[in-house]
């Protein structure tokens, strides 16, 4: 009996150790709690983030232990990537946004147009009068297909009425990055210097890769199995994140 208990403990220990290695070095699951990345990521999406894509920092490990500085096996970040990072304000909260500005870049919004290094970012109108969420509310938005300077294309939305028209010019410091939500008028991101601001290279956790599960909270709890077909967004499962 004693040997069986010891073997069970060993099995649990090994399972936890393997899970820790996978979570720290390979993939970590994340949940989308806000609408700042609509229409590309929705509240209720569960996704996998690759930890190895940009190398590792202390934030790659659970609880961010202060055991080393900088990054190991550091790799280049690409403009347009959707990235999870720790907010500079507390180094604890996980945010997910799109990388817009690299070190040395200037970023500015002028008359509702995004400029990178004083050049306007090309955008093509895809759809008007689109219903987009913002917390518990919603608003009508224009959906655009934006093309970043490196050729990366992605969808973004701007309010049809009351969009952010102008900002200061932001100059991204060395070893830091500028992030924005795709839901441009419902996102606390690097435009808000006091709460998010520029994100250090050390705060990068990983790249969002794939949605593995998604539920619509407005339809009720997943435990209401008789409504499962409405609650689970089957069409979003295993979608690659772009």
Q: What is the pLDDT of residues 78-126, one digit of tens each?
A: 999 999 999 998 999 999 999 999 999 999 999 989 999 999 999 999 9
Residues 233, 46 contacting (CB under 8 angstroms): no
Distance CA 79, CA 151 (A): 9
**Torsion 155-189-231-130 (CA) sign:** negative
Distance CA 240, CA 28 (A): 15
Residues 23, 206 contacting (CB under 8 angstroms): no
pLDDT tier at 23, thresholds 50, 70, 90: confident
> Mean pLDDT lowest for which of 11-20, 56-65, 87-96?
11-20
Give CA 213 to chain center in angstroms: 16
Distance CA 151, CA 60 (A): 29
Above 70 in pLDDT, residue 223? no
Nearby residues of 12 by Cβ (< 8 Å), 6 or more positions away: none
Question: What is the chain's mean pLDDT, rounded?
Answer: 91
Nearby residues of 32 by Cβ (< 8 Å), 6 or more positions away: 41, 42, 43, 44, 45, 46, 47, 96
Distance CA 100, CA 79 (A): 6
Distance CA 180, CA 80 (A): 10
**Global pTM value:** 0.90
Section 151-161 average pLDDT: 95
- Residues catalogued as catalytic: 36, 97
pLDDT tier at 10, thresholds 50, 70, 90: confident
Of residues 19 and 75, more confidence is placed in 75
Residue showing tokens 């830091």: 176
Q: What are phi and psi for residue 161, nearest 5 degrees?
A: -130, 125
111, with CB counted inside 10 A (0-12, 13-18, 19+), is exposed
For the chain, the domains span: 2-105+172-240
Second CATH level (architecture) for the domain 2-105+172-240: Ribbon (2.10)
Closest of 40, 153, 149 to residue 104, by C-alpha: 149
């Amino acid at each position: 009996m004693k040997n069986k208990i010891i073997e069970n403990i060993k099995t649990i220990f090994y399972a936890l150790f393997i899970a820790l290695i996978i979570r720290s070095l390979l993939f970590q699951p994340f949940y989308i709690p806000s609408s700042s990345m609509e229409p590309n990521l929705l509240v209720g999406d569960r996704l996998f983030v690759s930890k190895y894509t940009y190398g590792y920092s202390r934030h790659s490990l659970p609880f961010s232990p202060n055991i080393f500085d900088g990054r190991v096996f550091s790799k280049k970040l690409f403009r347009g990537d959707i990235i999870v990072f720790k907010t500079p304000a507390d180094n604890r909260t996980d945010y997910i946004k799109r990388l817009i500005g690299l070190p040395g870049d200037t970023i500015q919004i002028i008359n509702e147009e995004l400029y990178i290094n004083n050049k306007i970012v090309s955008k093509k109108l895809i759809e008007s009068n689109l219903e987009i969420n913002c917390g518990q509310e919603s608003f009508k938005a224009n959906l655009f297909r934006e093309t970043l300077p490196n050729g990366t294309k992605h969808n973004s939305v701007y309010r049809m009425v009351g969009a952010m028209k102008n900002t200061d010019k932001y100059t991204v410091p060395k070893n830091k990055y500028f992030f924005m939500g795709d839901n441009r008028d419902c996102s606390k991101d690097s435009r808000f210097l006091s709460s998010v601001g520029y994100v250090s290279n050390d705060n990068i956790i990983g790249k969002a890769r794939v949605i593995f599960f998604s539920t619509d909270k407005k339809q009720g709890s997943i435990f209401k199995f008789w409504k499962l077909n409405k609650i689970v967004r089957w069409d979003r499962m295993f979608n690659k994140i772009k």
